[in-house]
Amino acid sequence: MAVAKVRWGIIGTGGISNTFAKDLAYAKNAALVAVGSRTNESAKKFADNFAISRSYGSYQELAEDPEVDAVYVGTPHPFHKENVLTCLRAGKAVLCEKSFAMNAQELEELISFAREKKLFLMEAMWTRFLPPIVKVREWIDSGKIGDVRLVKADFGFRAPWDPDWRLLNKNLGGGALLDAGIYPVSFASMILGSKPDNIASTAHIGETAVDEHFSVLLSYPSGKAAQLNGGIQLRLKNEAIIHGAEGYIVIPDFIGAKSATLYNNSNEEIETFEDDRQAKGYAFEAEEVGRCLHEGALESSVISLNESYEIMKMMDEIRGQWGLSYPWE
Protein backbone atom coordinates (compact mmCIF):
# COMPACT_ATOMS: atom_id res chain seq x y z
CA MET A 1 0.00 0.00 0.00
CA ALA A 2 1.55 3.30 -1.06
CA VAL A 3 0.01 6.25 0.75
CA ALA A 4 1.38 9.76 1.28
CA LYS A 5 -0.60 10.34 4.47
CA VAL A 6 -1.91 7.35 6.35
CA ARG A 7 -5.58 7.67 7.26
CA TRP A 8 -5.90 6.28 10.77
CA GLY A 9 -8.75 4.71 12.64
CA ILE A 10 -8.64 3.99 16.37
CA ILE A 11 -10.29 1.04 18.10
CA GLY A 12 -11.00 1.70 21.78
CA THR A 13 -11.61 5.00 23.55
CA GLY A 14 -9.71 4.53 26.81
CA GLY A 15 -6.72 6.44 28.15
CA ILE A 16 -4.11 4.93 25.82
CA SER A 17 -6.24 5.70 22.76
CA ASN A 18 -6.63 9.28 23.94
CA THR A 19 -2.85 9.58 24.24
CA PHE A 20 -2.32 8.12 20.78
CA ALA A 21 -4.93 10.44 19.26
CA LYS A 22 -3.33 13.52 20.82
CA ASP A 23 0.10 12.52 19.55
CA LEU A 24 -1.07 11.63 16.08
CA ALA A 25 -1.48 15.36 15.41
CA TYR A 26 2.34 15.61 15.54
CA ALA A 27 2.95 12.81 13.02
CA LYS A 28 4.00 14.21 9.66
CA ASN A 29 2.47 11.39 7.61
CA ALA A 30 -0.78 10.72 9.46
CA ALA A 31 -4.38 11.87 9.66
CA LEU A 32 -6.95 10.65 12.19
CA VAL A 33 -10.23 10.05 10.36
CA ALA A 34 -12.31 7.52 12.35
CA VAL A 35 -12.86 5.95 15.75
CA GLY A 36 -14.69 2.81 16.82
CA SER A 37 -16.01 1.90 20.26
CA ARG A 38 -18.42 -0.60 21.75
CA THR A 39 -21.10 2.09 21.92
CA ASN A 40 -22.11 4.97 19.67
CA GLU A 41 -22.06 7.33 22.66
CA SER A 42 -18.45 6.59 23.57
CA ALA A 43 -17.29 6.80 19.96
CA LYS A 44 -19.13 10.09 19.38
CA LYS A 45 -17.66 11.67 22.52
CA PHE A 46 -14.14 10.62 21.48
CA ALA A 47 -14.72 11.90 17.94
CA ASP A 48 -15.95 15.26 19.23
CA ASN A 49 -12.88 15.62 21.46
CA PHE A 50 -10.49 15.13 18.56
CA ALA A 51 -12.54 16.58 15.69
CA ILE A 52 -12.74 13.17 14.02
CA SER A 53 -15.15 13.07 11.10
CA ARG A 54 -16.54 9.56 11.59
CA SER A 55 -17.40 7.52 14.66
CA TYR A 56 -18.74 3.97 14.92
CA GLY A 57 -20.52 2.07 17.65
CA SER A 58 -18.71 -1.17 16.81
CA TYR A 59 -15.19 -2.23 15.96
CA GLN A 60 -16.39 -4.09 12.89
CA GLU A 61 -17.83 -0.92 11.34
CA LEU A 62 -14.56 0.92 11.90
CA ALA A 63 -12.60 -1.92 10.32
CA GLU A 64 -14.85 -1.90 7.26
CA ASP A 65 -14.49 1.85 6.63
CA PRO A 66 -12.93 2.10 3.14
CA GLU A 67 -11.39 5.49 4.01
CA VAL A 68 -9.22 3.97 6.78
CA ASP A 69 -5.73 2.74 5.82
CA ALA A 70 -4.41 1.68 9.24
CA VAL A 71 -5.95 0.93 12.62
CA TYR A 72 -4.50 1.49 16.06
CA VAL A 73 -5.83 -1.12 18.50
CA GLY A 74 -5.93 0.49 21.94
CA THR A 75 -8.11 -1.99 23.81
CA PRO A 76 -6.90 -4.04 26.83
CA HIS A 77 -4.62 -6.91 25.84
CA PRO A 78 -7.11 -9.77 26.44
CA PHE A 79 -9.05 -8.38 23.47
CA HIS A 80 -6.12 -7.77 21.14
CA LYS A 81 -6.33 -11.04 19.26
CA GLU A 82 -10.02 -10.61 18.40
CA ASN A 83 -9.67 -6.91 17.58
CA VAL A 84 -6.56 -7.33 15.43
CA LEU A 85 -8.15 -10.18 13.49
CA THR A 86 -11.24 -8.03 12.87
CA CYS A 87 -9.03 -5.39 11.28
CA LEU A 88 -6.83 -7.80 9.33
CA ARG A 89 -9.86 -9.60 7.91
CA ALA A 90 -11.04 -6.23 6.64
CA GLY A 91 -7.68 -5.72 4.92
CA LYS A 92 -6.31 -3.05 7.23
CA ALA A 93 -2.76 -2.41 8.37
CA VAL A 94 -2.62 -2.74 12.16
CA LEU A 95 -0.61 -1.17 14.96
CA CYS A 96 -1.52 -3.07 18.14
CA GLU A 97 -0.85 -1.76 21.63
CA LYS A 98 1.43 -3.81 23.86
CA SER A 99 1.29 -6.46 25.10
CA PHE A 100 0.67 -7.69 21.58
CA ALA A 101 -1.41 -10.64 22.81
CA MET A 102 -1.94 -12.70 25.95
CA ASN A 103 0.53 -15.41 24.95
CA ALA A 104 2.71 -16.65 22.13
CA GLN A 105 0.03 -18.95 20.73
CA GLU A 106 -2.35 -16.03 20.21
CA LEU A 107 0.38 -13.93 18.64
CA GLU A 108 1.43 -16.74 16.33
CA GLU A 109 -2.12 -16.80 14.94
CA LEU A 110 -2.05 -13.07 14.29
CA ILE A 111 1.35 -13.15 12.62
CA SER A 112 0.42 -16.13 10.45
CA PHE A 113 -2.79 -14.48 9.30
CA ALA A 114 -1.10 -11.14 8.55
CA ARG A 115 1.64 -12.84 6.56
CA GLU A 116 -0.83 -15.03 4.69
CA LYS A 117 -2.88 -11.98 3.68
CA LYS A 118 0.24 -9.84 3.09
CA LEU A 119 -0.89 -7.15 5.53
CA PHE A 120 1.20 -4.85 7.72
CA LEU A 121 1.25 -5.65 11.44
CA MET A 122 3.33 -4.16 14.27
CA GLU A 123 3.44 -4.09 18.05
CA ALA A 124 3.07 -0.55 19.41
CA MET A 125 6.29 -0.50 21.43
CA TRP A 126 6.53 3.29 21.20
CA THR A 127 9.70 3.48 23.31
CA ARG A 128 11.79 2.05 20.46
CA PHE A 129 11.05 5.01 18.19
CA LEU A 130 11.82 7.84 20.62
CA PRO A 131 14.79 9.99 19.50
CA PRO A 132 16.85 9.32 22.67
CA ILE A 133 16.43 5.55 22.23
CA VAL A 134 17.37 5.85 18.55
CA LYS A 135 20.48 7.72 19.66
CA VAL A 136 21.30 5.02 22.23
CA ARG A 137 21.23 2.38 19.50
CA GLU A 138 23.55 4.55 17.41
CA TRP A 139 26.00 4.90 20.31
CA ILE A 140 26.02 1.14 20.84
CA ASP A 141 26.34 0.32 17.14
CA SER A 142 29.28 2.72 16.80
CA GLY A 143 31.08 1.10 19.76
CA LYS A 144 30.88 4.09 22.11
CA ILE A 145 30.64 1.84 25.19
CA GLY A 146 32.38 -1.20 23.73
CA ASP A 147 30.89 -4.66 24.03
CA VAL A 148 27.63 -4.54 25.98
CA ARG A 149 27.77 -6.76 29.06
CA LEU A 150 24.79 -5.88 31.28
CA VAL A 151 21.38 -4.22 30.88
CA LYS A 152 19.35 -3.04 33.86
CA ALA A 153 15.80 -1.79 33.34
CA ASP A 154 12.94 -1.15 35.75
CA PHE A 155 9.39 0.03 35.30
CA GLY A 156 6.98 0.03 38.18
CA PHE A 157 4.27 2.18 39.72
CA ARG A 158 1.88 1.93 42.64
CA ALA A 159 -1.62 1.89 41.21
CA PRO A 160 -4.71 2.66 43.32
CA TRP A 161 -6.03 -0.50 44.94
CA ASP A 162 -9.10 -1.74 43.08
CA PRO A 163 -9.45 -5.53 42.76
CA ASP A 164 -11.93 -5.11 39.90
CA TRP A 165 -9.63 -2.87 37.83
CA ARG A 166 -8.07 -4.55 34.81
CA LEU A 167 -4.49 -4.41 36.16
CA LEU A 168 -5.45 -6.38 39.27
CA ASN A 169 -8.22 -8.52 37.80
CA LYS A 170 -7.07 -11.93 36.56
CA ASN A 171 -10.19 -12.28 34.39
CA LEU A 172 -9.11 -9.13 32.53
CA GLY A 173 -5.51 -10.22 31.99
CA GLY A 174 -4.18 -8.32 35.00
CA GLY A 175 -0.66 -8.44 36.34
CA ALA A 176 2.60 -6.52 36.21
CA LEU A 177 4.41 -8.54 33.56
CA LEU A 178 2.01 -8.05 30.66
CA ASP A 179 1.38 -4.38 31.41
CA ALA A 180 4.51 -2.84 32.94
CA GLY A 181 6.96 -5.69 32.46
CA ILE A 182 6.75 -5.70 28.69
CA TYR A 183 8.80 -2.48 28.68
CA PRO A 184 11.97 -3.74 30.41
CA VAL A 185 11.68 -7.15 28.71
CA SER A 186 11.39 -5.56 25.27
CA PHE A 187 14.20 -3.12 26.09
CA ALA A 188 16.53 -5.99 26.97
CA SER A 189 15.55 -7.75 23.77
CA MET A 190 16.38 -4.62 21.75
CA ILE A 191 19.88 -4.43 23.24
CA LEU A 192 20.84 -8.07 23.82
CA GLY A 193 18.51 -10.10 21.62
CA SER A 194 15.28 -11.99 22.13
CA LYS A 195 16.70 -15.45 22.81
CA PRO A 196 18.53 -15.67 26.15
CA ASP A 197 20.21 -18.90 27.15
CA ASN A 198 18.51 -18.92 30.53
CA ILE A 199 15.63 -17.18 32.30
CA ALA A 200 15.35 -16.99 36.10
CA SER A 201 12.54 -15.07 37.75
CA THR A 202 10.52 -14.47 40.86
CA ALA A 203 7.23 -12.67 41.49
CA HIS A 204 4.93 -11.60 44.27
CA ILE A 205 1.47 -12.96 43.50
CA GLY A 206 -1.04 -10.81 45.37
CA GLU A 207 -4.48 -11.48 46.81
CA THR A 208 -6.17 -11.10 43.41
CA ALA A 209 -3.93 -13.90 42.05
CA VAL A 210 -1.92 -11.72 39.66
CA ASP A 211 1.73 -10.70 39.79
CA GLU A 212 2.05 -7.38 41.61
CA HIS A 213 5.80 -7.10 41.11
CA PHE A 214 8.53 -9.30 39.66
CA SER A 215 12.25 -9.64 38.99
CA VAL A 216 13.84 -11.38 36.02
CA LEU A 217 17.43 -12.31 35.22
CA LEU A 218 18.20 -13.12 31.59
CA SER A 219 21.50 -14.81 30.74
CA TYR A 220 22.97 -14.59 27.24
CA PRO A 221 25.99 -16.08 25.47
CA SER A 222 29.46 -14.81 26.44
CA GLY A 223 28.30 -13.80 29.91
CA LYS A 224 25.91 -11.02 28.92
CA ALA A 225 22.94 -10.49 31.22
CA ALA A 226 19.84 -8.41 31.85
CA GLN A 227 18.37 -7.55 35.25
CA LEU A 228 14.73 -6.51 34.90
CA ASN A 229 12.04 -5.46 37.38
CA GLY A 230 8.43 -4.43 37.05
CA GLY A 231 5.46 -3.69 39.24
CA ILE A 232 1.93 -2.35 39.46
CA GLN A 233 1.94 -2.08 43.26
CA LEU A 234 5.57 -1.02 43.61
CA ARG A 235 7.06 2.30 42.57
CA LEU A 236 10.46 1.83 40.91
CA LYS A 237 13.04 4.30 39.62
CA ASN A 238 12.01 3.55 36.03
CA GLU A 239 15.43 4.02 34.47
CA ALA A 240 17.55 1.87 32.19
CA ILE A 241 21.33 1.49 32.34
CA ILE A 242 23.40 -0.23 29.67
CA HIS A 243 26.88 -1.27 30.82
CA GLY A 244 29.61 -1.91 28.26
CA ALA A 245 33.30 -2.76 28.47
CA GLU A 246 34.27 0.88 27.73
CA GLY A 247 31.49 2.82 29.44
CA TYR A 248 27.80 2.96 30.15
CA ILE A 249 24.57 4.72 29.16
CA VAL A 250 21.91 6.02 31.55
CA ILE A 251 18.34 6.62 30.37
CA PRO A 252 16.06 8.22 32.99
CA ASP A 253 12.35 7.33 32.67
CA PHE A 254 13.35 5.14 29.76
CA ILE A 255 9.89 4.13 28.56
CA GLY A 256 9.14 7.74 27.55
CA ALA A 257 12.77 8.79 27.32
CA LYS A 258 13.54 12.47 26.80
CA SER A 259 17.27 12.16 27.43
CA ALA A 260 20.17 9.72 27.48
CA THR A 261 23.69 10.21 28.79
CA LEU A 262 26.89 8.44 27.78
CA TYR A 263 29.66 7.95 30.36
CA ASN A 264 33.13 6.45 30.23
CA ASN A 265 34.52 4.01 32.79
CA SER A 266 35.79 6.91 34.90
CA ASN A 267 32.19 8.10 35.33
CA GLU A 268 32.91 11.15 33.19
CA GLU A 269 30.00 12.40 31.11
CA ILE A 270 30.94 12.14 27.44
CA GLU A 271 27.72 13.12 25.74
CA THR A 272 24.08 13.82 26.58
CA PHE A 273 21.26 13.69 24.07
CA GLU A 274 18.13 15.65 24.98
CA ASP A 275 14.81 15.67 23.16
CA ASP A 276 12.64 18.77 23.44
CA ARG A 277 9.62 17.27 21.69
CA GLN A 278 6.19 18.65 22.53
CA ALA A 279 4.38 15.36 21.97
CA LYS A 280 4.48 12.48 24.43
CA GLY A 281 6.16 10.29 21.80
CA TYR A 282 3.53 8.05 20.23
CA ALA A 283 3.78 10.02 16.98
CA PHE A 284 7.09 8.36 16.15
CA GLU A 285 5.65 4.83 16.03
CA ALA A 286 2.81 6.12 13.85
CA GLU A 287 5.35 7.70 11.50
CA GLU A 288 7.16 4.35 11.32
CA VAL A 289 3.94 2.68 10.22
CA GLY A 290 3.52 5.35 7.55
CA ARG A 291 7.11 4.88 6.36
CA CYS A 292 6.64 1.11 6.11
CA LEU A 293 3.37 1.42 4.21
CA HIS A 294 4.88 3.96 1.83
CA GLU A 295 7.76 1.57 1.13
CA GLY A 296 5.49 -1.47 0.84
CA ALA A 297 7.01 -3.18 3.90
CA LEU A 298 4.81 -5.61 5.82
CA GLU A 299 6.63 -5.15 9.11
CA SER A 300 9.10 -2.84 10.82
CA SER A 301 12.79 -3.68 11.11
CA VAL A 302 12.87 -1.78 14.42
CA ILE A 303 10.55 -4.29 16.07
CA SER A 304 9.94 -7.24 13.79
CA LEU A 305 7.11 -9.70 14.17
CA ASN A 306 9.62 -12.46 14.87
CA GLU A 307 11.09 -10.44 17.74
CA SER A 308 7.66 -9.65 19.18
CA TYR A 309 6.89 -13.38 19.04
CA GLU A 310 10.12 -14.31 20.84
CA ILE A 311 9.41 -11.69 23.51
CA MET A 312 5.96 -13.18 24.00
CA LYS A 313 7.53 -16.63 24.36
CA MET A 314 9.87 -15.25 27.00
CA MET A 315 6.97 -13.82 28.95
CA ASP A 316 5.12 -17.13 28.67
CA GLU A 317 8.12 -18.89 30.18
CA ILE A 318 8.41 -16.32 32.95
CA ARG A 319 4.73 -16.69 33.87
CA GLY A 320 5.15 -20.44 33.71
CA GLN A 321 7.87 -20.25 36.36
CA TRP A 322 5.35 -18.54 38.65
CA GLY A 323 2.50 -20.91 37.85
CA LEU A 324 0.46 -17.95 36.61
CA SER A 325 -2.04 -18.62 33.85
CA TYR A 326 -5.27 -16.94 32.84
CA PRO A 327 -8.73 -18.57 32.90
CA TRP A 328 -8.93 -18.97 29.12
CA GLU A 329 -5.45 -20.49 28.72
pLDDT in tens, 237-295: 999 999 999 999 999 999 999 999 999 999 999 999 999 999 999 999 999 999 999 99
Q: Cβ contacts of residue 158 below 8 Å, gap of 6+?
A: 231, 232, 233, 234, 235
Kindly state the average pLDDT of the residues 196-220: 98
Pairing of strands 247-251, 240-244: antiparallel
What pLDDT shows up at residue 4? 78
Please give the residue range of the domain that contains residue 65. Answer: 6-127+281-287
Residue 15 has pLDDT above 80, yes or no: yes
Within this chain, do residues 211 and 247 fall inside the same structural domain, yes or no? yes
Assigned domain for 225 exists: yes
Do 122 and 183 belong together in one domain?
no
Do residues 14 and 139 both lie within one domain? Answer: no
Burial of 161 by CB count in 10 Å (0-12 exposed, 13-18 middle, 19+ buried)?
exposed
pTM score: 0.96
Please give the average per-residue pLDDT across 200-215, as a whole number. 98
Asked if residue 318 and residue 202 are part of one domain, the reply reads yes
In a domain, 305, yes or no: no
Q: What percent of the chain has pLDDT over 90?
A: 98
Q: Of the candidates 24, 114, 53, 149, which has an alpha carbon nearest to the alpha carbon of residue 297?
A: 114
Asked whether the predicted pLDDT for residue 308 surpasses 90, the reply is: yes
* pLDDT tens per residue, range 149-163: 999 999 999 999 999
What's the structural domain count of the chain?
A: 2
DSSP-derived 3-state class of residue 39: coil
Total residues found in the chain within this entry: 329
230 within domain boundaries: yes
Which pLDDT value is given to residue 89? 98
Do 148 and 93 lie in one domain? The reply is no
- Give yes or no: residues 198 and 109 share one domain: no
Q: Identify the band that residue 64 occupies on the pLDDT scale cut at 50, 70 and 90.
A: very high
Residues 6+ apart with CB under 8 A from 312: 99, 100, 101, 103, 104, 107
Is 36 strand, coil or helix?
Answer: strand
Question: What is the rounded (10 degree) CA torsion for 13, 15, 20, 21?
Answer: 50
CATH number at residue 31: 3.40.50.720
Q: Per-residue DSSP letters for 179-220?
A: IIIHHHHHHHHHHH-S--SEEEEEEEE-TTSSEEEEEEEEE-
What average pLDDT does the structure give for the chain? 97
Res 1: pLDDT: 46
Residue 226: inside a domain: yes
**At 2, is the pLDDT very low, low, confident or very high (cuts 50, 70, 90)?**
very low
Would you state the pLDDT for residue 221? 87
What average pLDDT does range 288-306 have in this prediction? 97
Question: Is the domain of 32 the same as that of 146?
Answer: no
